């Protein structure tokens, strides 16, 4: 009887472990981590690293997927799997940098406006409203065209349109925090404004900003890929998933479906995984707060 009970307990434990492993956010986190690692270590993981970085190989043009080339090759004979890994590196870098720059700058601006208040707050919020009045992606396209197409231009153009959302969140938190007793006590003993904002306001604003940032990563990655599709992101010969999808459209008409399917699938998996992980982190943060 004891042995039977122990066996049943082990089976139940295995079921629970399988349930945890099969959990959607966990799988998506693993998928996102796998893609990120593949992008980071692309030069080591693929034997076609030079082709991934743009070197042509005209003897293997437009080969369909096979054992030698899992994703096939493009119109210049470059291995498409290697191009997708290097393209994912560029697309992920744009997305993460946009969220990082937008969240940091927006938090600094919002905390300054909310804590100082008065004319400073009014001026900053009116500038924020001006940015929010324009469709963000159209503004990003305009800025990217002004700066010139490149990875850095795409990051700057998207970051300029991303910070107002964080500024509003940070300002709302700062308006509430500046009347708390611990902030009043710091002012009473003569602590400077800058020190109060850095030591007392920003740490308490960090959690809602972090939650918003995790939700924004997927959207920022998709926006970066969209700029690449329009030719305003990472430039050839470097790989960019959005640009690869654009280049693969003509191949689709000629029956070369792999040119658009695999880069598009890579973008889809990255964005979906990032969104699901972001929602899971938000739910976890909400449960912790409660």
- CATH code for the domain in which residue 138 is found: 1.10.3720.10
- Residue 148 included in any domain: yes
Compute the distance between CA of residue 256 and CA of residue 167 in angstroms, rounded to an integer: 46
- Give dist(CA 261, CA 256) in Å, integer: 9
Contact status, residue 209 vs residue 169, Cβ threshold 8 Å: yes
d(CA 115, CA 122): 12
Number of domains in the chain: 1
Determine the pLDDT at residue 18.
Answer: 42
235 lies in some domain:
yes
Give the structural domain span for 132. 91-289
71 inside domain = no
The pLDDT, as a whole number, for residue 260 is 92
Instruction: Identify whether 113 is part of a domain.
Output: yes
Give the three-class secondary structure for 79: strand
Residue 34 lies in a domain: no
Q: Name the E strands within the chain.
A: none
pLDDT of amino acid 9: 54
Report pLDDT for 289.
54
pTM of this prediction? 0.83
**Residues 62-80 as b or e (16 or more Cβ within 10 Å = b):** bbebeeebebbbbbbbbbb
What does each of the 290 residues of the chain score in pLDDT, given as a tens digit? 454 555 455 445 545 544 443 456 778 888 888 888 988 898 888 888 888 888 888 888 888 998 888 999 998 899 999 999 999 999 999 999 999 999 999 999 999 999 998 899 999 999 999 998 888 899 999 999 999 999 999 999 999 999 999 999 999 999 988 888 888 888 888 888 888 898 889 998 988 898 888 889 989 999 999 999 999 998 888 899 999 999 888 777 778 899 999 999 999 999 998 888 888 777 765 555 54
């Amino acid at each position: 009887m004891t042995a039977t009970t122990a066996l049943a307990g082990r089976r139940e434990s295995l079921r629970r472990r399988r349930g945890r492993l099969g959990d959607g956010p966990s799988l998506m986190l693993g998928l996102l981590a796998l893609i990120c690692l593949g992008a980071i270590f692309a030069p080591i993981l693929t034997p076609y690293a030079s082709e991934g970085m743009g070197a042509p190989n005209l003897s293997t043009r437009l080969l369909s997927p096979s054992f030698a080339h899992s994703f096939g090759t493009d119109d210049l004979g470059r291995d498409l799997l290697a191009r997708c890994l290097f393209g994912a590196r560029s697309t992920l870098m744009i997305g993460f940098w946009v969220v990082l720059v937008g969240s940091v700058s927006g938090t600094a601006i919002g905390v300054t406006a909310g804590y100082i208040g008065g004319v400073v707050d009014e001026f900053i919020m009116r500038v924020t409203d001006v940015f929010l009045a324009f469709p963000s992606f159209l503004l990003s396209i305009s800025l990217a065209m002004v700066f010139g197409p490149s990875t850095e231009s795409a990051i700057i153009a998207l970051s300029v349109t991303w910070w107002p959302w964080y500024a509003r969140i940070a300002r709302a938190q700062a308006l509430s925090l500046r009347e708390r007793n611990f902030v009043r006590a710091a002012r009473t003993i003569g602590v400077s404004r800058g020190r109060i904002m850095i030591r007392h306001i920003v740490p308490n604003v960090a959690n809602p900003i972090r939650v918003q940032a995790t939700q924004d990563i997927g959207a920022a990655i998709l926006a970066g890929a969209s700029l690449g599709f329009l030719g305003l992101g990472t430039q050839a010969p470097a790989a960019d998933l959005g640009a690869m999808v654009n280049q693969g459209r003509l191949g689709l008409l000629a029956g070369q479906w792999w040119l658009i399917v695999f880069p598009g699938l890579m973008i889809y998996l990255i964005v979906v995984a990032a969104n699901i992980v972001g929602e899971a982190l938000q739910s976890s943060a909400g449960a912790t707060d409660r």
